Chains A and B, each alone.
Chain A
């Protein structure tokens, strides 16, 4: 028999028993929809994990700290007298030479104060190379990311304005009353770099306890042209609170401010004189691919430095979401399994009903293979139709869930992603699974039909 004849014959057979076929198909529809919806929940969960990670610093970056701080974690191998490995330009260069490392930027952090009118704010500056700043892809409301060779400019976080306080009353308008302080972020500010000196002069203790010399109030520098990260005051992201600057410009500014004095945070000789070189607080290491992060991290810790990244967290989060997906998929699989029993039952029934018919076509010379194919096709059709309808139903359910539960969930978890995601591979997978289930559950009935004796078949009245 040619395939088209087999196809029309099996479709006709299904059509003959519309109600039973419809009920069996319904089982597959529910099974398929259960799997697809359940898995789509798991996928959406995983996706929102990854988005969270992306928000808190990305998947391919490693932050490296100098090696002494957590030395006791090394199980005593790094004893106290081991020379502390500092993040100097040499070490940065060394990090940049590692495999899989795209680039390395030193990170110099420092506190500064900016003032405008009644209000002032303490800012935490992270100065980085422009390469790193560009890579960070900071979303800006206005202004631009500071580039190499430019004069010193700052990028304020979108929540920076909440840090302004009234210097006279010492109250934070935003936190105390919910009012946004009357500060023009695009206007001029006084910037104070020598924060220690500022507070010492402010609180009247204007003499150095060691040398006894009077400390002069630090010099203020007028600056404008601040850039601002985009986003509302309530929107948190990794750029919300810190202030970013170009490291070269920032270093030049610090040198100009402190001249020959020691810069806060930089190492000094015993007599309090600064060294010639810079020591950075952190190094920002960009790795070429997510999968290499752990390896690079291992090499860095062998250098005696302290790398941290999101890799471990991501791994455990993914492990967790995989097990959630497995549980959800398992629940769906149970219903599809029940549906497959339904298919097998329907096929069995239809064989008992058609014993005579099968016998006749066998006597008339229908080959055994054709009989088997006929029944397998019927079962596969039930699976296919059920799969298609189930998929349509799943898309409907998924859309409804995103519509009604999406807003609820995003309020709870702080992410804007959807509750249910059906990627194309899942649709394809669901279709092939439902067809496969159909064929598998039709397999034994088909064998049974094939083995029916033509003689007993034609005798049945």
Chain B
């Protein structure tokens, strides 16, 4: 399998990020290098404060690196201005948040269709696509529900649908199951993994949970702003059903 997806989609070279909090200089990332190939499911795992979220934010263009290069699909993210970054996210990236971040005033379909709205897609087409995507995540019946009328798991499935609807090359997930109980977490993880496999998408997931991280093809262990080890998991295909 690894032979067919050897094309690198993310290349990170020598990445540093320093914050200054008061007089203290915090080294959030202290020289990180890696390459992620198309169709890979990678998880970044570490304790809180290890720099894993900072890394994800920089990959998604939400934060500027202090030093180093991030090349995604041949483009240097670190050199883009904010307008270009928004455009880059709109066209190449899907996002799954820990706290779902659905707009409370919109129902499920409208929430899923939102990224398509930003692309200027006509209403009829985007709602049809969103409905189809909701069906894929198994929420056909909850199409017209507002986020407040749905359980956490359902909300996160809407979140997954919203990330997938734009057919992104890369999906970033920041603790996607952090607000869910373990059963629901498993469901959502299975769903994500299934769709990523089917559609040959690149998924990068940040988590502090070693168990959840182990679902990925490769696991990046990160501590104190450095990559401790990269665990290759491709040969050990596990499904969630076996684990539980």
- Do B86 and A367 touch (CB < 8 A)? yes
Cα A323 to Cα B14 in complex, Å, equals 71
Given A1-B117, A1-B118, A364 and B123 touching (CB < 8 A)? no
A-B contact count (CB 8 A): 63
Residues 311-366 (chain A) with a chain B CB within 8 angstroms: 356-357, 360-366
B166 contacts across to A, CB distance below 8 A: 365
Cα A16 to Cα B93 in complex, Å, equals 30
Closest residue on chain B to residue A362 by CB atoms: B86
- Do A360 and B103 touch (CB < 8 A)? yes
- Do B87 and A365 touch (CB < 8 A)? yes
The dominant DSSP class at the A interface is helix
- Do A364 and B63 touch (CB < 8 A)? no
B2 contacts across to A, CB distance below 8 A: none
Residues 361-392 (chain A) with a chain B CB within 8 angstroms: 361-368, 370
Q: Residues 426-456 of chain A: 1 if any B CB is under 8 Å from the residue's CB, otherwise 0? A: 0000000000000000000000000001110
Residues 240-297 (chain A) with a chain B CB within 8 angstroms: none
Cα A455 to Cα B101 in complex, Å, equals 13
Contact of A367 among B83, B103, B114, B123 (CB under 8 A): B83
Closest residue on chain B to residue A454 by CB atoms: B62
Cα A51 to Cα B38 in complex, Å, equals 84
A458 within 8 Å of B (CB atoms): yes
Cα A44 to Cα B115 in complex, Å, equals 55
Closest residue on chain A to residue B126 by CB atoms: A5
What band does the interface of chain B fall in when counting residues whose beta carbon is under 8 Å from A? 20 to 34
> Shortest Cβ distance from B175 into chain A, in angstroms?
12
Closest residue on chain B to residue A456 by CB atoms: B62
Cα A199 to Cα B119 in complex, Å, equals 101
Closest residue on chain B to residue A360 by CB atoms: B101
A177 within 8 Å of B (CB atoms): no
> Shortest Cβ distance from A446 into chain B, in angstroms?
15
Contact of B103 among A5, A357, A363 (CB under 8 A): A357
B22 within 8 Å of A (CB atoms): no
Contact of A366 among B99, B101, B118 (CB under 8 A): B118
B120 within 8 Å of A (CB atoms): yes
B89 within 8 Å of A (CB atoms): yes
- Do B105 and A16 touch (CB < 8 A)? yes
Contact of B118 among A16, A367, A453, A461 (CB under 8 A): A367
Given A16-B105, A357-B103, A368-B86, A455 and B114 touching (CB < 8 A)? no
> Shortest Cβ distance from B138 into chain A, in angstroms?
22
Given A360-B103, A365-B87, A368-B82, A1 and B120 touching (CB < 8 A)? yes
B57 contacts across to A, CB distance below 8 A: 455
Residues 1-33 (chain B) with a chain A CB within 8 angstroms: none
A365 contacts across to B, CB distance below 8 A: 86-87, 89-91, 93, 115, 118-119, 166
- Do A364 and B83 touch (CB < 8 A)? no
B82 contacts across to A, CB distance below 8 A: 368
- Do A455 and B115 touch (CB < 8 A)? no
> Shortest Cβ distance from A306 into chain B, in angstroms?
74
- Do A455 and B105 touch (CB < 8 A)? no
Closest residue on chain A to residue B122 by CB atoms: A2
Cα A16 to Cα B62 in complex, Å, equals 29
Cα A16 to Cα B104 in complex, Å, equals 11
A12 within 8 Å of B (CB atoms): yes
> Shortest Cβ distance from B18 into chain A, in angstroms?
16
Given A5-B117, A455-B63, A367 and B87 touching (CB < 8 A)? yes
- Do A370 and B118 touch (CB < 8 A)? yes
Cα A96 to Cα B33 in complex, Å, equals 98
B101 contacts across to A, CB distance below 8 A: 356, 360, 363, 458
10 other contacts beyond A366-B90, A461-B99, with CB at 8 A cut-off? A1-B117, A5-B117, A5-B120, A360-B101, A361-B118, A365-B89, A365-B90, A366-B118, A368-B82, A370-B118
Q: Could you tell me which B residues sit within 8 Å of A by CB distance?
A: 57, 60, 62-63, 82-83, 86-87, 89-91, 93, 95, 97, 99, 101, 103, 105, 114-115, 117-120, 122-123, 162, 166
Q: Please list 8 pairs of residues, one from A and one from B, whose beta carbons are closer than 8 Å in the complex, sorted by A's number.
A: A4-B123, A16-B105, A357-B103, A361-B103, A364-B115, A364-B118, A367-B83, A367-B90
Question: Which are the 9 A-B pairs with shortest beta-carbon distances?
Answer: A365-B90, A455-B62, A366-B118, A365-B89, A364-B115, A360-B101, A365-B118, A2-B120, A5-B117
